[in-house]
Amino acid sequence: MDQGDFDASRTDRYIGQVWDDAIVPRLVEYIRIPNKSPMFDARWAEHGYMDDAVRLLESWARAQTIAGMQVEVVRLPGRTPLIFIDIPASGSDTGEDCVLLYGHLDKQPEMTGWADGLGPWQPVIRGDKLYGRGGADDGYAMFGSLAAIMALAEQKQPHARCVVMIEACEESGSYDLPAYVDHLAARIGKPSLVVCLDSGCGNYDQLWCTTSLRGLAGGNLVVKVLSEGVHSGDASGVVPSSFRVLRQLLSRLEDETSGRIRIDDLHVQVPADRLEQARRVAEVMGTGLYDKFPMLPGMRAMSDDLVELVLNRTWRPMLSVTGVDGMPPLDNAGNVLRPHTAVKLSLRLPPTLDGDIAGAIVRKLLLDNPPNGAHVSFELEKSSTGWNAPAMSDWLGHAIDHASHDFFGKPAVFMGEGGTIPFMGMLGAKFPGAQFMITGVLGPHSNAHGPNEFLHIPTGKRVTACIARVLSEHHAASRKGLTTGEAATAGDARMAASSCC
């Protein structure tokens, strides 16, 4: 297949039709399936929802007419399944070069607070938004990946070999994925480009690409002071409150006034190029950095400095308490000094900080010398290292910016993200020569993991079209030998300095 000129208008029309006719209806079905990640459904295998989601995606993939495509559901004993799709190169002279496209199909739990008429497993289309759990995080990824490849075939544009991997435990930390990557290593090959469709966007007006991801150390902190509850009037002032002991322990970790993590070893020096990107992101987004959150009237962000807010959510450790146990609901709370208090901690880590080291630091800090001899335990559930993208090759920087201009009409923006995608660090270590394009549709108010989560359908279409453009340019670069790790230049710094509209 000979490469002609890439036709952006034709690509836009084709992908728009595929989304409207084939992808959105299937995403509606997908949202109805409560396939929660194993961390949130210990009996996931017995319930069968994960298998339902796998069958839905697998059947759609098999129905697409992509030349030579092989679709397989790989199942290692005792692990969540993985969809593995292998698509041979349609062009010439790329040799063994390949592109790896990644997504996941497991979901976060229901969460409370959904608006009337909406629900996690109740797909609703309102205007250009598809509401429901998992459509944007990350059900669309496989559909978008294949649609991008189909768009190239429709206009006879060549591409290198493509491998699509859709895992089923990303929301639980991707603990099964290393086993699959090792098991499939020979079949994956050595990708020169990794495309991940599980990230966010600062607005819906241009293509956003992620340059770093924070790590995560999280687990359950339990403070016990009694074998049973006792009358608070009798015990208060004598028996330390488990809640007060818990507050003391958390204050070892976090300054409760500023939110700053007190431990210097949990901070890193922000690289100069990422600092410059943060300044550009602040310029592009402005007050959108905090306006996108449903803060109550009168609430203020943690800083008036927009650059500081960008750095807070991308390169600094930050603590959230995401669950509480040991406390009765208000209408059932008597005058009792409770025997224990437990909380679930989620500590986001700087991208370059080793997750295991951070987890060990946090564990020691919380367990050493407990106040008043309280019985304290800390079960570390997650310990994930973040990711900082390698220097971007000129060809990829140009391709991403061309794609954004083609389908959004504005330049691309590069920024760090506050979330964690363990797969990125894993792939970066296994394939040090690979380039990365991390993007997604989770923009303002899309509220991933929370109530009223939605997929902005026009952005899904445009991101899909952008992937098609990048795959086309990857093929051209591969033929010229520009996709090897040694070809990376100062393109990343150049894009950092030019990514403001």
Q: Angle formed by the axes of helices 140-154 and 49-63, to 10°?
A: 0
Place of tokens 């363990």: 422
What's the confidence (pLDDT) of residue 493? Answer: 40
Domain annotation covers residue 197: yes
Q: What is the DSSP letter of 115?
A: P
Bridging pattern class, strands 375-384 and 215-224: antiparallel
Q: Select from 413, 348, 332 the least CA-distant residue to 382.
A: 348
Confidence of residue 497 (pLDDT cuts 50, 70, 90): very low
- What is the maximum span of the chain, computed from C-alpha positions, in angstroms? 85
- Judgement on whether residues 206 and 99 belong to the same structural domain of the protein: yes
Statement to judge: residues 88 and 132 lie in one domain: yes
State whether 83 and 151 are in the same domain: yes
What is the reported pLDDT for 485? 54
Which tens digits make up the pLDDT trace of 104-160? 999 999 999 999 999 999 999 999 999 999 999 999 999 999 999 999 999 999 999
Predicted structure pTM score: 0.86
pLDDT digits (tens, 9 = 90+) for 308-345: 999 999 999 999 999 999 999 999 999 999 999 999 99
Where a domain ends, among 362, 384, 406? 384
471 and 336 inside one domain: no
Nearest to 103 by CA among 381, 460, 351: 460
For residue 110 the two structure tokens come to 């229901």
CATH number at residue 202: 3.40.630.10
Determine the pLDDT at residue 108.
Answer: 97
* Domain identity same for 230 and 257: yes
Question: What is the extent of the structural domain holding 79?
Answer: 8-213+387-498
Same domain, 445 and 325: no
Q: For the chain, give the percent of residues with pLDDT over 70.
A: 96
| CATH number of the domain within which 379 lies | 3.30.70.360
Instruction: Say if residues 8 and 469 touch (Cβ distance below 8 Å).
Output: yes
Residue 467 lies in a domain: yes
Q: How far apart are CA 86 and CA 84, in angstroms?
A: 7
Both structure tokens of 220: 């359950």
Can the peptide bond before residue 368 be classed as cis, meaning omega within 30 degrees of 0?
no
Q: Check whether 418 has a pLDDT greater than 70.
A: yes
DSSP state letters, 247-259:
HHHHHHHB-TTT-
User: Tokens representing 273?
Assistant: 């190029």
SS3 (DSSP) at 299: coil
Q: pLDDT digit string (tens) for 423-469?
A: 788 888 888 889 999 999 999 999 999 999 999 999 999 999 999 99
